Each structure stands twice: as structure tokens, then as C-alpha cells.
Amino acid sequence: GIQVEQSPPDLILQEGANSTLRCNFSDSVNNLQWFHQNPWGQLINLFYIPSGTKQNGRLSATTVATERYSLLYISSSQTTDSGVYFCAVVQGAQKLVFGQGTRLTINP
Amino acid sequence: ETGVTQSPTHLIKTRGQQVTLRCSSQSGHNTVSWYQQALGQGPQFIFQYYREEENGRGNFPPRFSGLQFPNYSSELNVNALELDDSALYLCASSRTGGTEAFFGQGTRLTVV
């Protein structure tokens, strides 16, 4: 099956710094989503981005489907950005396949 | 618009018991999927339901079963609980399979 790899696994930054999270996938996909998992476990939708670039406030994402990767950019990080970020892809019309996540810690 | 809701939020069961978890899909969504997330791991697909039929299954044993009701809500049943079943169980709904999925807050199951 398709493999999803996220990097880095852990990232520690100071408040105000910028960060880039990467997601590589091993095959063509129909769908790619980025999520932020809050401390209570809920997955919060950030982007639905099978291809192209989208922006939402301080966050933006780019997926280059032909090269099988996606990037999530966080600018001017805040402590509330801390948590685990997941990339997930779909082949066909069924399951989301998740990466192992990037744990982001923003220190004040 | 009502989001995805799951119940209960937490529960503790004894090894060998059976458990039922519930999920109400987001308004306008007809597809529900269930995921298991062990500590420190990414969520793993259990199965998906569409029009009250199972529409895809991950690598989970038959003691994991589910239902979808005419209002698109869903249940996950786990029989003969094992200690390794302790995890966060997440439900997701989408308009159809493969489109943007939205998750509930999860049910944290502890098996002792």
C-alpha cells in the first residue's frame, strides 16, 4: 500500500519563528489533507489540498502531486500552534492513510 | 451545521468485555469511517460505511464490526477486548468516499 512519511518527527521553535513541515507519499493520490491534533485528540482540518497552493492566515500549504510531496508552512508561530501535525492521503475513494506526524513545540 | 460527534468521550473496560462506540456524522455527509490511534502513532483505518454497507476494511480482525443507520450515524463494536485495543477511536464523515473528511473528538478507550 501507499506509504506516507513526514519530516521532521519533532520540531522545537521559539515563538515568532517560521516552520516548514514536509509530507512525502509513495504513489499518486486523489486527496491530501493536513490536520492539527489538539491536546484532547481531535483532528482539526487545516487544508484539503490534492494539488496546488492554499493559504489560511498564517498557514499555507503546497502540494506538488507530480513529485509526490506536500509542504505545510507556519509563519510567526504562536504557542497555540503546538501539537501534532498529520498529513493524510487517499487513493481511490476509501481510507485516509496517515503519516506518523510531526510534533511541533513552540516555546514562549 | 452540526459537526461530527462521538460518544462516549472516555470509557474503561475489562479485558474480554464488549464495547460499542457511537458517531453522528456531519450534516449532509453519507460516508463514515472509523480509525484507531495508538499512543504516539498516526490513526489507522478500521473500516468505512456508505449507504449502510461496509465499503472497505483495514487490517483489523472480525471482532471489530460496525453498523451505519439510515440517518448515516454509525456504531463501532469491539468484542472480546484485549489490552492492545486501548487507544483513541476516531470517527470521520465525508460527503462521499475520498472527499474531505471531518473528524469527531474521539473516544478514548482503556482496557484493563
Question: How is chain A split into domains, by residue range?
Answer: 4-107
Mean pLDDT for chain A overall: 95
CATH of domain A4-107: 2.60.40.10
Beta strand pairing call for A83-90 and B53-57:
unpaired
- Give the separation between CA A88 and CA A97, rounded to whole angstroms: 5
Residue B97 confidence (pLDDT)? 67
The cell numbers describing A24, all together, are: 512525502
A40/B105 Cβ within 8 A: yes
Contacts of A66 (CB under 8 A, 6+ apart): none
Distance from the Cα of A18 to chain B's closest Cα (Å) equals 24
A8 preceded by cis ω (within 30°)? yes
A35/B55 Cβ within 8 A: no
Note whether B42 contacts A: Cβ–Cβ < 8 A: yes
pLDDT digits (tens), chain B, 112 positions: 579 999 999 999 999 999 999 999 998 899 999 999 999 999 999 999 998 999 899 999 999 999 999 999 999 999 999 999 999 999 999 987 678 999 999 999 999 9
